[in-house]
Structure formats: C-alpha cells, structure tokens
Amino acid sequence: MEQIMRNFFLFLSKNKAFTKMARKYGLRFGAGRFVAGETMSNTAKVIQELNAKGMDVTIDHLGEFVDNEAEAKQRTEECIEAIRVISEQNLQSQLSLKMTSMGLDVSEDLVLENMRKILDAGKKYDVFVTIDMEDYERCGKTLDIFKQLKSEYDGIGTVLQAYLYRTVEDIEELNAYSPNLRLVKGAYKESPKVAFPAKQDVDQNFKKIIKMHMLNGNYTAVATHDDQMIEYTKQIEKEYNIPKEQFEFQMLYGIRTERQEELVAEGYRMRVYVPYGDDWYGYFMRRLAERPANVAFVVKGVIGK
C-alpha cells in the first residue's frame, strides 16, 4: 500500500493542471507545514527563528521545469534578491536551486549565463550556492554544469542521490574537484534500469557514499531523516576521527523538528532545507510520496483542526 501511495503522489507531482490550481489557491491544504511562505520576507522570519535555535539554513525558491527564457531569467533575479536579503539581514543561510528553474530545458548557454549571475552575487555577498539534483534524465547534464562552474567559483556545491547506480562512480570522479556534496537517498520515480528498486539496496549504497565522501576529506552534508543513517554517520566520525567541521546533517523544514534540535544539542551542525515561493505543488507532492504519513497533516490543514 505504501508503494502505491508513493507512486500516486509522484504521479500527481508532475500534473500541470494541479500545479496551476495550487498556485491559484496558495499555501493551503497542509503545504504550509513544509513550505516557509510565498515571499522572501516571510521566509526571512523563518530563517531567523531557526538560526535562533542554533540551526543553519539553505533556502530554495521553488520552481522547476521552466520552459522559456523569460521565466528562467525571472527565477534568476529572485535568487539574486534572496542572496541580497540573506546578506543584509545577516542570516545564517545558503541558497539551493534547480537547473530546470534556471532554464536547463531551454538551453545550456542560458543556464550558464544565469548561474554565473547568481554565483557572482554569491561571491559578492559570501553566500554558498548548492545545485539541487533532479531526475535521472537531467543528472549527467547537471553534473557537467557543476564541474564547469566549480572550476570558476569556490562557493558552489551539488547533490548526489544514493538510489542511482552511477553515484559511486560520480563520487570517485568528482573527488578531483574537492566538492561540497549533499548526499540524499533520492525522491524521484526512476526506472530499475538506472536506480536500485529495493530500499535495502538504496540504504546500503547511501552508507557507502557517505563513507567514501567523508574519507576523501571533502565537506559532506548528510541529508536524511533516517536515524540509521544518522547513527552510521556518527560511527564514521568516531571511527576515523572526522572533525565535526567537515560534515553536517540536513533535514527538511517541518519534518522531525525535535530530532533537529537534538542534533544541535549534541554539538552537530544542523542545516534545515527551507523552501518558499508559489510554485510549491511538485515539491509538496514529493514530500507526501517520501512519507505517506505526512498525509495526516494535509487532512488536518483542510478540515482546520
């Protein structure tokens, strides 16, 4: 049943009609639990609250699968504005973004032009930028863009997904760039031709890439809500004397908030992934797909209890 629900929500995440309807009706139906707000001003308040609890943040202006140059440029300006606000308000926050929101599906030249504008702003205001990973079809292109930009800018990282067969090789190849990587299990529906279909295999590969990247001496963000993976990371830290400054844990805004606070109390760096904006529907559906129990929060939001 859980797999059926996961597939159902992943199917809904790509429905353009529902996406338009979601934009029209705003952050109701429970999405407000996982999305900070529709504007950067609202989001800044959330960042301040998390910073006050000892947590760092990375923000993501939601939007993906942009299919025209004008919208990609608009998304670019929104990212640059977010960087300015982070700097002006002295927020402990980075920026995350997707290549499709920068125009990946339009042209590579457009993506590089937009990314260089954002990274120039990041360099000016000392704000780190992470390129989020999307579906398998765009994985190779995203990593090619990352490698090109990493040769030009220091303040950039990206994401690798444990459920893909290719990820171990990607870790090995990217090591030459001394990359800052966020490691995740993966949230898109992929073919068994390119991704491990069984959870236990994904978990095993996740452990493998965590250990590889940490032992390579590169900065590692372990993005997970899974206690098994958190404890495994701590085990690697202790066994190999990895300094706490070399890694961090990341979790999504609105999920396992008590666990986030516990990790801070234990002396670990905790970064919360905080999405905002009006194009929240696809992100929200993927959160429901990852953990169908989150549907209970949606029902609560709808009936107002």
60 near 273, Cβ under 8 Å? yes
Residues 6+ apart with CB under 8 A from 44: 85, 89, 91
**Nearest residue to 282 (alpha-carbon basis) of 21, 4, 1, 2:** 21
For tokens 């990352």, the residue is 146
CA distance 271 to 165: 27
Q: Are 192 and 218 in contact (CB under 8 A)?
A: no
Question: How many degrees, rounded to 5, is the angle at CA 141 between CA 12 and CA 222?
Answer: 70
Residue 93 pairs in a beta bridge with 57
Question: Which of 291, 290, 63 minimizes the C-alpha distance to 189?
Answer: 290
Using DSSP, state whether 130 is helix, strand or coil.
Answer: strand
CB of 277 closer than 8 Å to CB of 63: yes
Catalytically active residues, by annotation: 132, 182
How many angstroms separate the most distant Cα atoms in the chain?
A: 52
d(CA 221, CA 180): 8
**Gap between the Cα atoms of 224 and 249, Å rounded:** 7
How far apart are the C-alpha atoms of 80 and 303, rounded to whole Å?
A: 38
Secondary structure of residue 213 in the 3-state scheme = helix
Q: Does residue 123 contact residue 156 with C-beta atoms inside 8 Å? A: no
